[in-house]
Amino acid sequence: MATSLKNLSSYNKESVPNASWMKFALVVSEWNSEVTDALYKGAYNTLIKHGANKENIITAGVPGSFELTSAARNIAKRTDVDTVICIGCVIEGDTPHFDYVCQGVTQGITALNVKYKIPFIFGVLTTNNQQQALDRAGGKHGNKGDEAAITAIKMVNFNCSLKK
């Protein structure tokens, strides 16, 4: 469903498991920081709202969205987090750079999900312009950070249900 038809911050709060025992990492791109800071705040506040403990949330900043996968991999290898939320924003410009970065980040996060036993969440906006990004980072379409946090909680819960 297109984001323009759905508010990213709308969800059934009853369907979200308690996150008090879960450990999270949020890897945040510094590029387009006006957008990524808002996405981070949305994700962080949503985790807290659903019971996550502040001491169980690691935050790491990286220069750009392309670096998200490397940082996420390093966190997964060196910590005991249950999930890594990758937060970034790539806005289309006048060159094909947009296509390469979007493809690299998408394939990188997908590869991490296949390689590791924890979920890596795609909280990366890929928009045509700044306004579309702002609309999805707390604007008229809600906040993709909220959506990423809910996805992380649900995927950790899903993985744990398989261990029973």
Query: CB of 123 within 8 A of CB of 88?
Result: yes
Could you give the C-alpha distances from 2 to 63, 95, 100, 141, in angstroms and in order?
29, 25, 22, 10
Compute the average pLDDT of residues 18-26: 97
**Residue listed under structure tokens 């920081």:** 33
DSSP assignment of 68-131 equals HHHHHHHHHHHS--SEEEEEEEEE--SSTHHHHHHHHHHHHHHHHHHHSSS-EEEEEEEESSHH
Rg over CA atoms, the chain = 15
Question: What is the pTM for the complete model shown?
Answer: 0.93
pLDDT in tens, 38-71: 999 999 999 999 999 999 999 999 999 999 999 9
Number of neighbouring beta carbons within 10 Å of residue 52: 22
The pLDDT score that the predictor gives to residue 1 is 46
In this structure, of 7-16, 25-34, 115-124, the range with the lowest mean pLDDT score is 7-16
Q: Which tokens belong to 158? A: 């899903």
- Active-site residue numbers? 97
CA 6 from chain centre, in angstroms, equals 18
Number of neighbouring beta carbons within 10 Å of residue 1: 5
Under the banding of pLDDT at 50, 70 and 90, the label for residue 4 is low
Query: CB of 89 within 8 A of CB of 137?
Result: yes
Where exactly are the structural domains of the chain? 21-162
Under the banding of pLDDT at 50, 70 and 90, the label for residue 8 is low
pLDDT in tens, 92-150: 977 778 888 989 999 999 999 999 999 999 999 999 999 999 999 999 999 999 999 99
Q: Which CATH architecture has domain 21-162?
A: 3-Layer(aba) Sandwich (3.40)
